[in-house]
Amino acid sequence: MKLTNVDRERMQDSMLKIQSIRASLDGIDDDKIPNAGAVHECLAAADQSLKQALGYAKESHGSGHTP
């Protein structure tokens, strides 16, 4: 199904927010974040999925997660 311009804008906004959160967390010691590894993996997977949906990245084949 083709994305509308509004859909694309919303997804781009969400992708940028996720990237901002990832950058913010890089400055915090992982020991201070419960389940830090899972949080980083989740944010990376969400970022990659949005990039794929927007056509910025190809779908990865393999583990299912590309940071």
pTM: 0.80
pLDDT at 63: 46
- The 8 Å CB, 24+ separation contacts for 25-31 are none
Q: Percentage of the chain surpassing pLDDT 70? A: 88
Q: Which amino acid is at 7?
A: D
Residues 6+ apart with CB under 8 A from 50: 11, 12, 14, 15, 18
Rounded to the nearest integer, the mean pLDDT of the chain is: 90
pLDDT band with cut points at 50, 70 and 90 for residue 53: very high
- Could you identify the residue written with the tokens 């970022």? 47
- Determine the distance from the C-alpha atom of residue 29 to the mean position of all C-alpha atoms in its chain, rounded to a whole number: 20
pLDDT band with cut points at 50, 70 and 90 for residue 59: confident
Q: Percentage of the chain surpassing pLDDT 90? A: 82
- How far is the C-alpha of 13 from the C-alpha of 4, rounded, in Å? 14
